[in-house]
Structures are given as C-alpha cells and as structure tokens.
Amino acid sequence: MAIELRVPTILRTYTGGAKAVNGDGATLAEFIDNVNGAHPGLKERIVEGEPEELRRFVNVYVNDEDVRFTGGLKTGIKDGDVVVVLPAVAGG
Amino acid sequence: MRFDSLLDSVGGTPLVGLPKLSPSGDVRLWAKLEDHNPTGSIKDRAALRMLLDAEKDGRLRPGNTILEPTSGNTGISLAMAAKLRGYRMVCVMPENTSEERRQILRMWGAEIISSPAAGGSNEAVRVAKQVAEDHPDWVMLYQYGNPSNALAHYDGTAREILDDLPSVTHFVAGLGTTGTLMGAGRFFREHKPDVKIVAAEPRYGELVYGLRNLDEGFVPELYDATLIDARFSVGPRDAVRRVRELLDNEGIFAGISTGAILHAALGQAAKCVREGETADIAFVVADGGWKYLSTGAYEGTIDEAEDRLDGQLWA
C-alpha cells in the first residue's frame, strides 16, 4: 500500500504526464516532501512561504476533505489515503 | 399563503424530514427545499436581495442593464427579477452548461454571452469583468463579492431553519459563490454557535480546471474560511449516486449539486452515529432536477452518468 497523489493537469509536467503518483509520509507535509523527491519542482507549486503553507489558489483534499480544515500541512495521513490537488475555481 | 407579487414570495421554503435516509431516530436529516422558490432555485434569494439593495443605494436605476457571470441559476433568478423590475439582463455563462439553462434564461428575456468551457466559471468571471470595462454604464451585481448575497441567507435561509428546527446541529450547503455558507455561517455563529457549518464543493472533470497557471485560481471575495468547519470535495459519481438515492428513498427530485450536498450530509450523519452523538442535520436542496435532464444524470448506470457529466459544469 501507499498514499496516492492525484495530480492536476497543469502539474503533470513534473510527473512525466502521470495523473497519479504514489508516496509515503505520516503527515501531508512529509508526503509532499517524499513525492517531491521523485518529482522535483512539484512541491513549490503547492506550498510556499516560511513557515510553509498551501498556496492561496491551491486546494488539497485528503479523502475528499479540504486539509485547511483538518490541520493543513500537519494533517495526518496513512496508507490507502488519496490526496487530491486542485486549483480553486468559482461556482454559482 | 398569499403574496402581493411573485417577488414577494421568494424564500419561506419548506424544511422536510428524511425518514428513510436518516440513519437513526437520534441522527436525523432535514432537507430545505429551495426548489420551491419562484424560478426553482436557492439563487432567487440572493438575486432578489442584490437587486433590491442596489436599487436602495442608487446603483441601479430604471432602465439600467444588469450584467452577471453565472453558471445558470443566479442568471435565471436575476433575469426573472430584472424582467419584473424593468431592467435589461445580460449573462456571461460558460458554454459547457446545460441547454435547459440557456433556454430558460432566454425565456425570461436574458441575453447570453458565452465564455469558453475550459476554466469553467473562472472564465465567466474574467469575461464578465472585461465586458463591464467595455460597458461602464452596465451594473454588475457580482454575486461573488456582493455582501447582499450572503445577507439573503443570513436573514432568510438560516433564520428559517433555526425557527423551524431549534435543535439544529449541522448546516450543510454547496460551495459556489460561498454566499449561502457565509450568510448562514455568520447567522449561526451569532445565534447558535455550536451549529457546525459544512461545505460541499463540486469536483468537476479536468477540462473545467483549465490548463493555466495555478496562481490564476479564483476564491470569491465573500469567502471567509473561519465561518465554516469542514469542506468536502464531491465528484460526479457520488453526486449522481446520492441524487438518485434522494429520489428513490424520499421522492425528492433534486439537481445534481444537491447530490453532492447530500453526500456530505450523509458523511456527517455517519460520523455522528459512530461517535454516539444526537444530531439534526439540515441541508440545502439547491434546485430541482428539471434543468439537468439532458445531462443524462438520471438515466442508465452510474458509470454512464459519470461519463456523460465529464467536462460539464453540473453544479
């Protein structure tokens, strides 16, 4: 088992076109670092600043729940979880 | 119930229990039937309030043209209100929205400017801002940043729910302009702060998210994350499955976005059951299913429906 990252179309240049890649980690931050090891450049499109936080127009979901309401980058994750990254869009 | 005109009848919608879908006698679901509004959606509340407030503060004067970026419902509501109050209505709408929505808009006299499918409503907003620059005399009420949008739900939707269901513990609604959640969120924070505010956000196919830079995303100016407690992303498969469950079990024929909202509400209900809590979960039925029949969401297998919805703005 592993943790799956669903990659939005615009970030697939970092994953050789793959729609999903796997990684490991106990928190979202660790997971993003881990995935970035295999796909350098991915992290800085998702995370910014010091201390690190999610970029303003990027939404990240673990098992469909927005991580901004579950602890942000400190959100705990485990094998079998699915992490989705999406640009923020309008509705209405 | 008697009203002086159609516009006076906006709001005051029924709240109905869901005896079959509620997991137990202690964890109950309640549907706020916003399809009972004059044009059949919750957007009548925001549209009417934005229009009346703009008249009051003098931004809108007789004979003006109203411009609005919309994926459909807000435009339809504004077109109805504009017709009755004597304004011309121009909508900017993504081209990947259902044909019914276009026909209904035209029926109420609105003119439609199409924006590109790729990028979804973000593109409609961008195009509308450009059109507004070209026509400085047109009035853009701008649902994404207009406080009257949220106020309609503060004074209406949320207050009605608390009046009808004083034991309410959760409020679940769709996240688009964020107006419903911001208005209801603020109302409950002030009047019953232990009510949890849950957002259900539709997750579309890849086309809708466009191919441009991540930094060109869009967060409505109204959005204040401190007013909600949890936010779920719901894809078309779960939305379709739930909208069919709502019809099969409770007889409610709702639009696809309501399936996404119900999915989040049922997730919350299951969590309450696991944790042994008592809960009264009120959720919004944003509109009826009529406008989405041509999307194919209500026929065939879930797989087929999911395929058909790919690339469409289904909420």
A46 → chain B, closest CA residue = B214
pLDDT digits (tens, 9 = 90+) for A69-82: 999 999 999 999 99
Q: Is A82 on the interface with B (CB under 8 A)?
A: no
Contact check, Cβ <8 Å, A11/B214: yes
Select the residue of A45, A90, A92 nearest B214 (Cβ to Cβ): A45
pLDDT tens-digit readout, A19-42? 999 999 999 999 999 999 999 999
**What domains are defined for chain B?**
7-36+156-302 (3.40.50.1100), 43-140 (3.40.50.1100)
Chain B contacts of A57, Cβ < 8 Å? 214-219
Contacts of B3-10 with CB under 8 Å at 24 or more apart are B5/B84, B6/B38, B6/B80, B6/B84, B7/B38, B7/B48, B7/B81, B7/B84, B7/B85, B9/B38, B10/B37, B10/B38, B10/B44, B10/B45, B10/B48
pLDDT tens digits for A46-60?
A: 999 999 999 999 999
B130-164 pLDDT, tens digit each? 999 999 999 999 999 999 999 999 999 999 999 99
Q: Across residues B201-213, what is the average pLDDT?
A: 78
User: Of B207, B214, B212, B219, whose CA–CA distance to A41 is shortest?
Assistant: B214
To the nearest whole angstrom, how far is the Cα of A46 from the nearest Cα of chain B? 9
Residue type, B147: P
Give the count of Cβ contacts less than 8 A between chain A and B: 107
Judged against a pLDDT cut of 90, whether residue B209 lies above it is answered with: no
Q: Which residues of A touch B43 (CB under 8 A)?
A: 92
Global ipTM: 0.93
Q: Answer yes or no: are the C-beta atoms of B198 and B182 closer than 8 Å.
A: no
Which residues in chain B have their CB less than 8 angstroms from residue A59's CB? 233
Residue A58 C-alpha, separation from nearest chain B C-alpha, in angstroms: 7
- What's the rounded mean pLDDT across residues B66-94? 95
Nearest-CA distance from A6 to chain B in Å?
11
User: Using a CB-CB distance cutoff of 8 angstroms, which residues of chain A are in contact with residue B232?
Assistant: 61, 64-66
What is the pTM assigned to this prediction? 0.95
pLDDT score at A92:
57
Catalytic residue positions of B, numbered = 43, 257
User: Judged by CB atoms within 8 Å, which residues 193-222 of B form the interface with A?
Assistant: 199, 201-204, 206, 208-220
Q: How do residues B244-283 score in pLDDT, each as one tens digit? A: 999 999 999 999 999 999 999 999 999 999 999 999 999 9
Of the candidate CATH numbers 3.30.800.10, 2.40.160.210, 3.40.50.970, 3.10.20.30, the domain formed by A3-87 belongs to: 3.10.20.30
* Cβ burial, residue B17 (10 Å; 0-12/13-18/19+): middle
The string of DSSP codes covering B20-66 is TTSSSSSEEEEEEEGGGSTTSBTHHHHHHHHHHHHHHTTSS-TTPEE
Predicted confidence at residue A88, as pLDDT, reads 87
